[in-house]
Amino acid sequence: MTTATPELLTVSDVMARLKVGRSKVYDLIRTRRLISIKIDGARRIPADAVRDFVLGQIEESA
């Protein structure tokens, strides 16, 4: 059985996907609205976490 490794995005990648600034991405991480991990000091965000965040925002707006 194989498990797919989740795609990990940089803060810059998330900035581009969400069309927001660096401070906003770090604010979302700090407030735990966006899941992230640190790998040797580098912050990485699973692509699924970005998708879940967006879907959650859509549900809140509906």
Supply the CATH classification number for the domain 8-61: 1.10.1660
**Does position 12 have pLDDT exceeding 60, yes or no?**
yes
Taking the domains of the chain in order of start, what are their residue ranges?
8-61
DSSP letters for 27-45: HHHHTTSS--EEETTEEEE
pLDDT tens for residues 21-49? 999 999 999 999 999 999 999 999 999 99
Q: How far apart are CA 47 and CA 9, in angstroms?
A: 6
pTM of full prediction above 0.95 = no
